[in-house]
Amino acid sequence: MTGPGSRDRGQVLPFYVAMMACLLFAALAFVVVGMAGATRSDAQGAADAAALAAAREVRDNAFMGRSLLTLTPEEWEEILRGRRFDAEGACAKAQGFAGSNEARLPTAECDFDSLEFTVTVTTNGTVGDSVVPGTENLHGQARATALIEPRCSLQPAPTPTPTPTPSPGGGDTVPGPIGIQCRGGGEITVDPSDPGPLHKLARKLFSVRLVD
């Protein structure tokens, strides 16, 4: 014959088992949330790297294919305002950086609008198998935008404009040094006949940063 205490223990045991099962599931679900967060973080890192790579590619090539000797003051201003950028090859650069971060970037997800590059990447890996159905097919996805920010302009009046100097070989004149004023009071003087590496000049004139 069993007493009241035995019946109470028999009633409590199923409740205890059920409660432990719920706690275990909650713990596993919490782990899944962490895995999903890590996958999303990986995607964001890849997106940031891809967007920055695309913007820097465009920035570094701001003067490629141009002869500084033939640029007019108006053309200089257009360039310094970021109105002469060529985005060719930038999306390929973004794809390469996405790939190096275990993600993929379809061409359709790389967009250049004015001075901004926006990309959307998807991780190659998934969240993985878990107690939550479907996570084995769930990829991380993230979006990032990088801005090419003009920093400089031609020195304004009343700064005297450079006067052309005669070409050493005669004939056409060679433009004199170009004065450029940058934010923070910095000044750059560019010799069109000997500007040095053009990608380094572009890096002085434009900054690249991520934007929200």
Q: Would 74 be classed as within a structural domain?
A: yes
Q: Would 19 be classed as within a structural domain?
A: yes
pLDDT in tens, 120-172: 998 887 755 444 544 566 778 899 999 999 999 998 644 444 555 555 555 55
Structural domain boundaries, residue 201: 9-211
Q: Would 115 be classed as within a structural domain?
A: yes
Q: Are 51 and 210 in contact (CB under 8 A)?
A: yes
pTM above 0.85, yes or no: no
Q: Would 32 be classed as within a structural domain?
A: yes
- Residue 157 or 68, more confident: 68
Q: Would 151 be classed as within a structural domain?
A: yes
Query: What whole-number distance in Å separates Cα of residue 84 and Cα of residue 193?
Result: 21
Specify the amino acid at residue 36. Answer: A
pLDDT in tens, 161-212: 455 555 555 555 667 899 999 988 789 999 999 999 999 999 999 999 999 7
Q: Would 2 be classed as within a structural domain?
A: no
How many structural domains is the chain composed of? 1
Query: What whole-number distance in Å separates Cα of residue 111 and Cα of residue 90?
Result: 10
